[in-house]
Amino acid sequence: MHEPLDVAAADAYLRDARCGGLNLFVGTTRQWTGTRETVELAYECYEPMAIKEMQRLVDEAKARWPIERVCVLHRLGVVPVAEASVVVGVATPHRAAAFEACRFLIDELKVQVPIWKREHYTDGTTEWVQGAQPPRVEGEG
Amino acid sequence: MHEPLDVAAADAYLRDARCGGLNLFVGTTRQWTGTRETVELAYECYEPMAIKEMQRLVDEAKARWPIERVCVLHRLGVVPVAEASVVVGVATPHRAAAFEACRFLIDELKVQVPIWKREHYTDGTTEWVQGAQPPRVEGEG
Amino acid sequence: MNESHPVVFTVLLFSILREKVGRAAVDVAVPAPATGSALLDALEAAHPAVAPYRPVIRLAVNQTYVPESVRLTEGDEVALITPVSGG
Amino acid sequence: MNESHPVVFTVLLFSILREKVGRAAVDVAVPAPATGSALLDALEAAHPAVAPYRPVIRLAVNQTYVPESVRLTEGDEVALITPVSGG
């Protein structure tokens, strides 16, 4: 989605009477990376696959933890400094699982979901961010 | 505080241009514990000490992780099912520290901060919840 | 203050201890020099309802957890903390 | 479809690959039976700008990651995924 992400709406969606805790991760645009100053990030996405991958990750998380509610939202297009690019939230009966599942989802999202960010620096230059090297697919290479 | 906790305000406070991520934990009143149904929880607090303990935990977290912003909010009095009793939030330059510090703060809060909950069940009975046995203070016992 | 005179402390009670004793604060006289253990012994003698909780009570003096061996000073704010259950 | 005839696939490109090649999608002819490796070889021959990224490209067919050894079927949606950087 290209609009600002609504953390309050995510929180409201994640409230569940069966749950004792929810964990939310909000990824924001950081101004400084070493000595370079970022004005904004721009995100590009292979949308149908990104949605499929997010669903696959949610299914995997649900198989591993007793998740009652979950949301994974990623903003596309331009995201200015301090605004949210990603919101991941998980509600579970007990808090440990909420933390673990939320961490799993954001860690996997950053390796598996086909979204790419481009840094726009204050000096006018731009640069595609090179993501983490994913594990090789079985049978590949 | 005796009013509903404002997660959106916590999120807004935690936004920081130096940070790439923030982690929020929201503790909510769970309806079912085994076969007993909870209507609401009521919290009692030794307020001046609770505030001191929360500050001590925040100081300890800041000594261990590069925290730019942090909040610890606990509601007092009656909290109905699915409403938030506690909100802990941490913003850091990179996400791993935000998860770890947030988890540390809620885990320690539940052992150290002098707040007690009383369950109000649908059958009309009430019961003080026995907390986790804390580690013994050095030199004690 | 003289070693042979007792010192009186107001002890704050919360949650189940407050209910069992029936008051949010009780005065306890402890012979000087007063310690946390002596205060707890005196409290338990005066309010037997406290006894079952003694093994899990943590002592707080001036809003800080302290060992029972702590030396108490007149005017200290003493509180008994049963296992907390916030969150 | 005949083993001696090439099959044409439309390959989707994103981010840095899209910029280096100058297009969001390119058609690549691969001799049947087509595999992921053969498609990547043919793409690299036609668009040398792809070559430096070959070691880090993951292949997606019909929006699912697959090994390069995958057998391709006419009509498959093929995409090249350089290391992602969402979040």
pLDDT digits (tens, 9 = 90+) for A31-40: 988 888 999 9
What percentage of chain A carries pLDDT values higher than 70?
94
Instruction: Kindly determine whether residue A110 and residue D58, on different chains, have CB atoms separated by under 8 Å.
Output: no
Is the interface score ipTM higher than 0.90?
Answer: yes
Per-chain mean pLDDT for chain C:
95
How confident is the model at residue C10, as a pLDDT? 97
Chain D residues in contact with A85 by the CB 8 A cut-off are 86-87
- Chain A interface, mutation test: which of B99, B102, B105, B117, most A Cβ atoms within 10 Å? B99
Instruction: Kindly determine whether residue B137 and residue C58, on different chains, have CB atoms separated by under 8 Å.
Output: yes
Q: Where are the domains of chain B?
A: 19-129
Which among B19, B30, B95 has CB closest to A18? B30
Q: What is the CA radius of gyration of chain D?
A: 12
How confident is the model at residue A135, as a pLDDT? 60
Give the residue ranges of DSSP H helices in chain C.
15-21, 36-46
How confident is the model at residue B8, as a pLDDT? 96
Min Cα distance C72 → chain B (Å) is 15
Res. A130 pLDDT band, cuts 50 70 90: confident
Q: Are chains D and C in contact at 3+ CB pairs closer than 8 Å?
A: no
Instruction: Kindly determine whether residue D19 and residue A128, on different chains, have CB atoms separated by under 8 Å.
Output: yes
Res. D4 pLDDT band, cuts 50 70 90: low
Q: What is the mean pLDDT of residues D61-76?
A: 97
The helix or strand, by DSSP H or E, that contains position B14, with its residue range, turns out to be helix B7-14
Q: Any residues with CB less than 8 A from the CB of C81 and at least 6 apart, and which? A: B46, B114, C14, C57, C58, C59, C60, C65
The strand pair at D6-12 and D78-81 is best described as parallel
Torsion sign, CA atoms C80, C82, C83, C84: negative
For chain C, the chains sharing at least 3 beta-carbon pairs closer than 8 angstroms are: B
- Answer whether A78's CB lies under 8 Å from A29's CB: no
- What is this structure's pTM? 0.93
User: How many contacts (CB atoms, under 8 Å) link A and B?
Assistant: 100
CA distances from residue A128 to A116, A136, D14, D18 in whole angstroms, order as listed: 7, 22, 11, 11
pLDDT in tens, A96-129: 999 999 999 999 999 999 999 999 999 999 999 9
- Answer whether D39's CB lies under 8 Å from D61's CB: no
pLDDT in tens, D10-45: 999 999 999 999 999 999 999 989 999 999 999 999
Rounded-to-integer distance, Cα A115 and Cα B99, Å: 23
How confident is the model at residue D3, as a pLDDT? 52
How confident is the model at residue C1, as a pLDDT? 47
Rounded-to-integer distance, Cα C36 and Cα C58, Å: 10
Whether A39 has its CB under 8 Å from any CB of chain B: the answer is no
Which among D19, D65, D84 has CB closest to A131? D84
Q: Give the chain A residue nearest B103 (alpha carbons).
A: A99
Rounded-to-integer distance, Cα D13 and Cα A76, Å: 17
Task: For chain A, give the number of residues.
Answer: 141
Q: Any residues with CB less than 8 A from the CB of D52 and at least 6 apart, and which? A: none
Question: Which tokens go with B76?
Answer: 């007092």
Residues facing B72 on adjacent strands: B88
For chain B, the chains sharing at least 3 beta-carbon pairs closer than 8 angstroms are: A, C
Class of domain D6-81: alpha beta
Min Cα distance D48 → chain A (Å) is 19
Whether A101 has its CB under 8 Å from any CB of chain B: the answer is no
Instruction: Kindly determine whether residue C87 and residue B110, on different chains, have CB atoms separated by under 8 Å.
Output: yes
* pLDDT at A140 exceeding the cut of 80: no
Query: Interface of chain D against chain A, CB under 8 Å?
Result: 12, 14-16, 18-19, 56, 58-60, 63-69, 79, 81-87
pLDDT in tens, A52-89: 999 999 999 999 999 999 999 999 999 999 899 999 99
Residues of chain C under the 50 pLDDT cut: 1-2
Residues of chain B under the 70 pLDDT cut: 1, 134-141
Chain B residues in contact with C16 by the CB 8 A cut-off are 116, 128
Q: What is the fold, at CATH topology level, of the domain defined by A19-129?
A: Aldehyde Oxidoreductase; domain 3 (3.90.1170)
Would you tell me the crossing angle of helices A95-112 and B95-112 to the nearest 10 degrees? 180
CA-angle at D73, arms to D71 and D77, nearest 5°: 105
Helix (H, G, I), strand (E, B) or coil at B30: coil
